[in-house]
Structures are given as structure tokens and as C-alpha cells.
Amino acid sequence: MKKYNAVIFDLDGVICHTDKYHYQAWKAVADELGIYFDEEINNRLRGVSRMESFEIILERYEGEMSEEEKECWTTKKNDIYKELLKNMSPADLSAEVKETLDNLRANGYKLAIGSSSKNARFILGQLGLGEYFDAISDGNNISKSKPDPEVFVKAAEFLGLPAEKCMVVKDAEAGINAAIAGHMDSGAIGDATGCGKATYNLTSFRDLWKAVEE
């Protein structure tokens, strides 16, 4: 019997790389507000919801800001971000990622997305993966952000599978904590490998195959 029946993937930082677009969009907003912002601060926004990201940026803001103003600025950031996302195409999907996904699928694994982003479906469409996944759980169907496990719990629910049959792949520590809270095994990729809490540390996307079949 297989250890897992499904793999739930984070999108940003796992399936594709949107960091530079998030950075450019937040930088435009921060510049307009006169707030210092750099790539190091941008790295802290990984896996963090849009509004929580803005709160982190506002740590360096001297003035006061109402909830309505925050809504306006985050909407502005998202408008800029969505324009930038139009630059993405199927060429942004690496051969390694596509091969691994195809290989998992061919071997009977269900594949899902578990992402905090409200733009997940748009990004998947840009990558040519609009109809690819068996389930998509994203920022539009959750009320609590990571490290709360809601986004992954919902993904498992959409797939109709128990948590222990799903493995989560994440690039941020908050996501690994969320997987643990949701009683799911996890594979850490990139920065998340440093936290030492994932079931598997994946040095490359292809390692995922070894992890699920081990």
C-alpha cells in the first residue's frame, strides 16, 4: 500500500517563482509611501497573506493608517502584481517540476494546490496548468493563514482524503508548521529546509519522487 495518495503543493516558491513580482509590486507601494523596503524584508513575506505582508512593511511606517487606507494600498499592490504576472508563461514552469508532477500523476497520486494566494488560479493559468490539479485550495477559501493548517486541511477535504494520506510541499517554515498542525507529512524545499521540522528535506524537486516512494 502506498504511504501517500496525494501531494499538496504550495504554489509561490514551489511550483513557480513569483518573489520578484511580489517584490516589484510591494516596492512600488512602499516607495509611494516613503517606506524603506528591500529584498530581505520581501523574504519575510513568503507564505504570509497579503494584508499580513503589508503589516510587516508598515513596521517601518511612521504615520497612522486606517483599515480603509490599508485596503486601498493592498488593492493597489495587487493591481500592479497582477499586471506583472501577465509576463508569466508556460516557459516559467521548469522541466524538472513538470516531469515530477507528470510522474506522480502517472503513478496514481492525486495532486493539489495549497496556497495562501488569491491569485493562485490566475498564476496556474499563466503557467498552462489551469486544468491540471485535482483540487485547488487557496486564499479565497480560507479564513485563517499559516501556520494555521486550514489551507491544507481544505485541500485534503477537496480531494476527499484523510490528512495522513497527503504530503505537503512547502518553501516556508510557516507552511511546514501548518502541515504539522494539520497532521500531514511535509517536504521542505529551499529556505524551509533550514527549519529542520519537515518530514523530508528536498534538495531538488526530483527528490520528492524518492520521498513518496521510499
Please report whether residue 139 would count as binding ligand BG6 according to CB under 6 A: yes
The correct pick among 73, 111, 113, 117 for binding ligand BG6 (CB under 6 A) is: 117
Burial 152-161, CB ≥16 within 10 A → b, else e: bbbbbebbeb
Q: How far apart are CA 109 and CA 6, in angstroms?
A: 5
Least CB distance from residue 32 to Mg ion, whole Å? 26
Least CB distance from residue 195 to ligand BG6, whole Å? 16
Based on CB atoms, which residue is closest to ligand BG6, 160 or 194? 194
Burial 135-151, CB ≥16 within 10 A → b, else e: bbbbeeebeebbbbbbb
Tell me the CA distances in angstroms from 10 to 61, 76, 94, 109, one per residue in order. Answer: 30, 24, 15, 16
The grid cell for 89 is 508563461
Q: Is residue 78 a contact partner of residue 53, using CB atoms and an 8 Å limit?
A: no
Based on CB atoms, which residue is closest to ligand BG6, 27 or 50? 50
134 belongs to the catalytic site: no
Q: Give CA angle at 53 (49, 54), nearest 5°.
A: 125
Please report whether residue 47 would count as binding ligand BG6 according to CB under 6 A: yes
159 binds, among ligand BG6, Mg ion, none (CB under 5 to 8 A by kind): none
12 belongs to the catalytic site: yes
Least CB distance from residue 175 to Mg ion, whole Å? 6
Least CB distance from residue 176 to ligand BG6, whole Å? 13
Based on CB atoms, which residue is closest to ligand BG6, 104 or 114? 114
At 169, is the secondary structure helix, strand, or coil?
Answer: strand
- Per CB under 6 A, residues contacting ligand BG6 are 11-12, 22, 45-50, 53, 78, 115-119, 139
Indicate which residues carry an active-site annotation. 10, 12
